[in-house]
Amino acid sequence: MVSCTRRIEWDAMHRIPRHESKCRAYHGHRYAAEITCHTEELDDRGRVIDFGVVKELVGGWVDREWDHTAILMRGDPEPAIQAIAEANERLGRPVYWLDAPPSAENIVAELARVANELLEGTGVEVVEIRLWETPNGSATWRKES
């Protein structure tokens, strides 16, 4: 199998409701995602996919939806959530709502869902995404065999 990987980075804040430690408070990260794509046959230029296509499609979505905003859980009981959502909306960076706590594991699963939709029709499939939440901590999504 031949694959290629494109790295995409962005800044966002989140909080993990019910977290045992300091991650229950609002805080930000410099996220980085390594998106690995696979194809059965290389194109006539010897590529799985042009890295720029992944940057444009997936990176463009990340830029619009996740960069410089908050990734929060729908139904989070924290009273300030509504104020943050309203402020971000007013400032042009609406909150991105997940149906689960915005842990690295849930964020990488959401990115995999979106990336697969965005790259549909390009002739490649996303086979792995590694999401770095900090330089020392990451979560990985892999396509099931």
Residue type, 61: W
- Give the pair of three-digit tokens for residue 143: 């396509």
Categorize the per-residue pLDDT at 85 as very low, low, confident or very high, splitting at 50, 70 and 90.
very high
Which residues, in sequence order, are bridge partners of residue 125?
Answer: 38
pLDDT at 24 over 90: yes
Q: What is the mean pLDDT of residues 27-47?
A: 96
List Cα–Cα distances, 111 to 20, 77, 78, 86, 142, in angstroms.
25, 24, 25, 24, 12
Catalytic residue ranges = 23, 68, 133
Q: How many domains does the chain have?
A: 1
Q: What is the mean pLDDT of residues 86-94?
A: 96
pLDDT of residue 20: 97
Query: Hunting for tokens 């990985």 — which residue is that?
Result: 140
pLDDT of residue 1: 79
At 104-124, the pLDDT tens digits run 999 999 999 999 999 999 999
**Cα torsion angle, 4, 126, 140, 16, sign:** positive
pLDDT at 145 over 80: no
Please state, in angstroms and rounded to a whole number, the distance separating the CA atoms of residues 69 and 81.
Answer: 13
pTM: 0.95
CATH of the domain at 73: 3.30.479.10
What residue numbers bound the domain in which 126 lies?
A: 2-142
